[in-house]
A and B are shown apart, each in its own frame.
Chain A
């Protein structure tokens, strides 16, 4: 591969600093839970359905718990208690708690609740494992796809149209199909229910919608003789709940980032850190590959000046992911081709960064994102711009490539746009398949110099973040030029310190790992 010089000592130091940064936050995470985490736990135990107003039962249940000031004990304690007191099922226990009398004095002994949950905890874990096994068995039927995997999005708003478009994308050569979520779903503090046919900017992520697209992609896989990956978004106020839904409905990838919600959706920091941890515990168990969102930094901040913030964040995302039990092979760290194309030699700067990240994160299924910021309505120029992006992707061995669309900045991709994008990517990947193996960069040239500079700046920024703590660094706008306060943003009211009797055998089982 066309390697750039990477100083292993600097990389090791970056990882050590990132570990310290994450450990600081991890102490906070371990002492706290959120309404999102508790709803996820209830779902994992089998609580489902809606009340007569259409609110998910898990929301009614957990909100009632929180309103009584009891969330610090964990919803599992109450579900287990109701089971121990004769509720015939977890769902029945949830209904009694959600609609019955106030929860009264707490049991002084939690042994009964714990005992009542043992079998249910085992079932909850088995359900995730069964989906993982089924995914692996299905995948094994097909030849492994060549990287970069070609990733496209569909976004009609109607899940049935999405399913059609997903199959069309499979026909045209896509390896991965993501259904873009309805705008603003990340700010909903509940997960909508059932199949949905209306949504602005995309389609709601619901458990039923996951099933519909999985079925379509299984059919497409069989028809075209290629495994086609399904992707959705574990982000926003319900990141853990959606991770669980994705795990049991056999999704392959999830957009999941330790800091994206904080920076780009103004979701509270404490909330996001706790939620991302539990979501990633589920992801780790299920074998899903996450895609992190560092590409977004470069859509707000300048891609030349702030390139190192991407690398810095990747080290931090990696450290958080490790603390949640993810294997490197599950960490699709994100980066992007967003430098102003009018800058002389910008192509060289892009290739330097892409190669640097490939070498530093050598086992990670890196997610390579296309140009968007400098796209205009000139579709012909846009198609050429994407071609250059594809060339860097294949030459530097990126793993997952979200294909650029020539109609970027105009509309959600049309069938034709996606077809032409896939056709062009296939051409470039094939025609330049071993380009990277054939190149050596000029000593001290533009590419080498840029790679050194970015790593060195990332190291400096990591030290700065460590000195200030991530809480302060984010407050000062270290990432994406966006500033967020520790107690600001959405969802802060849903964060609670765990009490001494806090109970969550589901998360405990995830933390124990496989076996």
Chain B
């Protein structure tokens, strides 16, 4: 598998390499022949060739909604991409229980919260609460996890203090509200706080939310990021792997058993 052969890909419509893309957008113009031409040029500026404006409708006074199809002139060499992807070897519920019992011999303590002004607990509830999501039970349903859901609008200071008091192995932060990037500031502030308290190395930090991905979480100083579609068992697997799995890519050693 090296050195890598270039592998060019482009969007697939119904033939290899046709580059078919659909886009929809609003332009701040009333509908007109000129607006239609504007939409076409706008699509061309995005690299679409032969764009076809299939819909032009006034969505509000002075605003027009367009649907455009076109062929992308771009392609991507995926052989040159480096992406940090979270790879968790998936264990079943029972295997997780067994692994923790055997290798750690105690429960994994997890503290979770929506921090800052965020009041949207759907994500953190789905991961932590017994009920889980879409049939995938939450961490509360595992004997090997001790899950503390602090709920909504928890300040970083409070979250850090509780995590410390409970000797948490991991902190789960959920950030749903993303206006003006407050999710990033909030998340990063927690990392800074834990560093200042000399506690950052003693705990795994997980970040979740609809606009979160693993790469962003790493950039913000977290250990992992979980985006849309994350199931509680994904989080469980990650925690087990990091705390009592084989040595991982990051070289993080096995967590010591706490007295």
Contact = CB atoms under 8 A, between A and B. Distances in A.
Question: Is the contact region of chain B dominated by helix, strand, or loop, or is it mixed?
Answer: loop
Contacts of B134: 340, 342, 374
Interface in A338-360: 340, 342
Interface string A403-416: 00000011110111
Given A409-B210, A416-B24, A416-B25, A168 B59 contact: yes
Interface string B223-234: 000001100000
Nearest to A186: B119
B60 A171 contact: yes
B198 interface: no
A200 B183 CA distance: 10
B59 A201 contact: no
A209 to B, nearest CB: 17
Interface string B133-149: 01000000000000000
Contacts of A409: 210, 228
A183 B117 contact: yes
Contact of B65 (A167, A186, A416): A416
A168 B119 contact: no
Interface residues on A, range: 35 or more
Contact of A481 (B24, B118, B131, B180): B131
Contact of B61 (A171, A182, A265): A171
Interface string A146-189: 00000000000100000000011101100000000011101100
A482 to B, nearest CB: 9
B31 interface: no
A148 B179 CA distance: 31
A201 B177 contact: yes
Contacts of B229: 376
Contacts of B26: 414-416
A252 interface: no
A301 interface: yes
B125 interface: yes
Contacts of B151: 266
B65 A201 contact: no
A85 interface: no
Interface string A459-497: 000000000000000000000010000000000000000
B88 interface: no
Contacts of B182: 200
B54 to A, nearest CB: 14
B12 interface: no
A274 B153 CA distance: 24
Nearest to A409: B210
Given A201-B177, A340-B134, A481-B131, A183 B59 contact: no
Contacts of A420: 65
B119 A157 contact: no
A340 B229 CA distance: 14
Contact of A377 (B118, B119, B180, B228): B228
B117 A415 contact: no
A295 B57 CA distance: 33
Interface in B1-59: 24-26, 57, 59
Contacts of B121: 300
A265 B152 CA distance: 8
A158 to B, nearest CB: 11
Given A184-B153, A419-B59, A481 B179 contact: no
B188 interface: no
Nearest to B229: A376
B150 to A, nearest CB: 11
Interface in A180-212: 182-184, 186-187, 199-201
A300 B117 CA distance: 19
A299 B122 contact: yes
Interface in B45-95: 57, 59-61, 63, 65
Contacts of A376: 228-229
A198 to B, nearest CB: 9
A201 B228 contact: no
Contacts of A186: 119
Contacts of A300: 121-122, 125, 129, 131
Quick one: which of B25, B117, B151, B180 has the most chain A CB within 10 A? B117
18 contacts: A157-B179, A167-B60, A168-B59, A168-B60, A168-B61, A184-B117, A184-B153, A187-B153, A200-B179, A201-B119, A201-B177, A201-B179, A300-B129, A409-B210, A415-B26, A415-B63, A419-B59, A419-B65
Closest 10 CB pairs of A and B: A168-B60, A419-B59, A184-B117, A201-B177, A183-B117, A416-B26, A171-B60, A200-B179, A416-B65, A200-B117
Given A171-B60, A340-B134, 17 more contacts: A157-B180, A167-B61, A168-B63, A182-B117, A184-B117, A184-B119, A200-B182, A201-B118, A201-B177, A265-B152, A266-B151, A301-B131, A377-B210, A377-B228, A409-B210, A410-B210, A419-B60
